[in-house]
Structure formats: structure tokens, C-alpha cells
Amino acid sequence: MKNDRQLLLTAVNAADDKKAEDIVVLNMKGISLLTDYFVICHGNSDKQVQAIAREIKDKVEEKGYTVKRLEGFDEAKWVLVDIGDVIVHVFHKDERGYYNLERLWGDAPIEDVKSELNL
């Protein structure tokens, strides 16, 4: 079994590599039966949203993980990248505030991963 922390950091680093903005990691353990972590970020254009999602998909697959689902890529308003223990939500800047997942999952603690990133 692969390490879910390594998967999380791979996804966050990939998003950061494509200049995703305001990356937030919510620890969903004990809150959601679906996943251990939500990663929420946004891009400023359709092209950037797609580039972020594509980079996440490519980097996690390079590390041997399986992307279970990739939804919303063509529309590039809200792309969901389901990697099992980690689900990444890549929003277009205009959509992020509308859906406000951080508030919706307000009981989930924010996970600090900055010190572990390859910055």
C-alpha cells in the first residue's frame, strides 16, 4: 500500500508547479467516508485550470498511483481529480467563491503541508 501522505504531497506539489493559487488541504479523516484529504485550489483561466489538473494527473501516475476519476476537465470551471485517498478540486477563480468548499467542510481541519513541499 502506498503512503497517502506522499500522494497528498505529490498532488499539492504538482498544483504548485502550475502556479495554482490559494492551495488549501482539508484533513477529511473521520469526516468523510470518501477520502482522507481534499485539496482545493484555483487557476485564473480555463487553460490554467486544465494545466493544473493535467499536471496533477501526470505526476501522481508517474509515482504509480491511479487516477480513479477526472471530471469537468473540458469545461475547466471545476475539475475534480479523484486519486482515492486524496481528492483534488481545481476551480476556475470565478467559481471557487461560489462553491466555497472550505466553508461547506468547515469542520475539517486545515492541514499544513507547506514545510513538506518541494518549493
What pLDDT shows up at residue 1?
42
Q: Which residue has the higher pLDDT, 33 or 56?
A: 56
Q: Supply the range of the domain harboring residue 10.
A: 4-113
| pTM (global) more than 0.85 | yes
CA dihedral 20, 3, 67, 11 (to 10 degrees): 10
Asked whether residue 118 is domain-assigned, the answer is: no
- For residue 12 the three cell numbers come to 499539492
How many structural domains are present in the chain?
1
Task: Quote the strand ranges of 1-119, DSSP E.
Answer: 21-27, 37-43, 69-71, 78-82, 86-92
Average pLDDT of every residue of the chain: 92
Asked whether residue 93 is domain-assigned, the answer is: yes
Any idea which of 11-15, 63-67, 108-112 has the lowest mean pLDDT?
108-112
In this structure, what CATH number is given to the domain that contains residue 93? Answer: 3.30.460.10
